[in-house]
Amino acid sequence: MPISGKNSVKEINIDNNLKNLIDKAQKVYFENFNGDAWLGRCIFLSWYCALGDCDFCFRSTQKHKIQHPATARRTYESIYTEAFLCKVNNWKLEFLTGGYGIFEFDDIVKICKTISEIFGEKIWVNLGTLSKPQFEKLLPYINGYVASVETLEPILHKKVAPSKPMAPYEKSLNVAKELGLKTSITIVLGLGEPIDDYKYVKEFIKKHELSRITYYALRPVKGTPYENGPDPEFVAKWITKTRIDFPKIEIIVGTAETRLPEISLLLRSGANAITKIPATKIYGTTGAEDIHNLIKSADRNFISELRKLPDVNWSKEVNKVIKDKILAEKIISKIKDYEKNRLNKSYKEFSKIKKLEKDKCEPCGE
């Protein structure tokens, strides 16, 4: 069962129209993808943003409390520890992100380089608007650029994100495409948009030839104007329409620990992966087991791990990438702290899995 709260999902009601859309979207999905699903993980560089006025965002409630923004940024060892945990559990890096005005750009390039080395592949970034010279510095380490446009209906966009005009984002998307990068946007659902606003997303995907889109179900934050997240059926409609119109696009959907019952629905609607699950808090709990089972019930193969930490020689794993011995020791210490403490502290509504049984025999299920 999910955690109760304002944004919780208790039940799902699918009418015939939505069922027909889901059936069609599921058929399109399996014609273009292999059935693998995964947990997407966004790695944040900070909890502060120099803009800080998107009206739904947690950072908009924090900006006035932070006198010295530099103190709100994460340490290198904290950022890299999360990257190592993502890698060994196959939580795919959705993107590296952070608020405006935290790190110098050369520092961001350095972080992108290291995280790319940790994962052994180029990464996606969601770092606001970027110029061509900035993209060129990042090119050795990134393969995709994400624009957090939030919503595309012009009037609603000005209300929701007053300091994030669309033109600079579109320019960045065009530059990224010109340089051979993949492109993506994020859309927040539950800001007051009707389903008819999907037409703006459809037009935008076509215009910029996006290869990915992330839909987030709004999480109401205290201190913002929003009290409730969207119904799962509403989120499913956006996913089905996108999958049917764009068969090969990668769709990631942000859900929550309070919305677990919707996971199967959203995957059956055509999503490739889920994100926004607080993995370290739910790790090894009955909630994590629920996620594995819900994904399986959608006829999908969950390639990420949330139940049992793999047996890893952390000294070997870290030192293979991190050549700064002092930094490597800090990372190893922090990983051990995660293993001993943080991964063992879970929501009280979810009990810990006592023992993860060996895989059941496939023929008999015993």
Q: One digit per residue, pLDDT tens: the chain, 366 residues? A: 555 555 678 778 899 999 999 999 999 999 999 999 999 999 999 765 555 555 545 454 444 444 445 556 789 999 999 999 999 999 999 999 975 567 889 999 999 999 999 999 999 999 989 999 999 999 999 999 999 998 899 988 888 877 788 999 999 999 999 999 999 999 999 888 999 999 999 999 999 999 999 999 988 766 565 567 789 999 999 999 999 999 999 999 999 988 999 999 999 999 999 999 999 889 999 999 999 999 999 999 999 999 988 899 999 999 999 999 999 999 999 999 988 877 766 666 688 886 554 433 333 332
Residue 2 lies inside a defined structural domain of this protein: no
Cβ of 298: how many Cβ atoms within 10 Å?
Answer: 18
Residue 228 lies inside a defined structural domain of this protein: yes
Residue 259 lies inside a defined structural domain of this protein: yes
User: How far is it, in rounded angstroms, from Cα 216 to Cα 359?
Assistant: 33
Residue 185 lies inside a defined structural domain of this protein: yes
Residue 4 lies inside a defined structural domain of this protein: no
Residue 225 lies inside a defined structural domain of this protein: yes
Residue 72 confidence (pLDDT): 64
Q: Are 235 and 189 in contact (CB under 8 A)?
A: yes
Number of separate domains in the chain? 1
CATH code for the domain of 224: 3.20.20.70
Residue 91 lies inside a defined structural domain of this protein: yes
Domain encompassing residue 47: 16-344
Residue 359 confidence (pLDDT): 38
User: How far is it, in rounded angstroms, from Cα 14 to Cα 318?
Assistant: 47
User: How far is it, in rounded angstroms, from Cα 217 to Cα 202?
Assistant: 18
Residue 348 confidence (pLDDT): 62
Q: Residue 191's Cα: distance from chain center in Å?
A: 18
Q: Are 243 and 269 in contact (CB under 8 A)?
A: yes
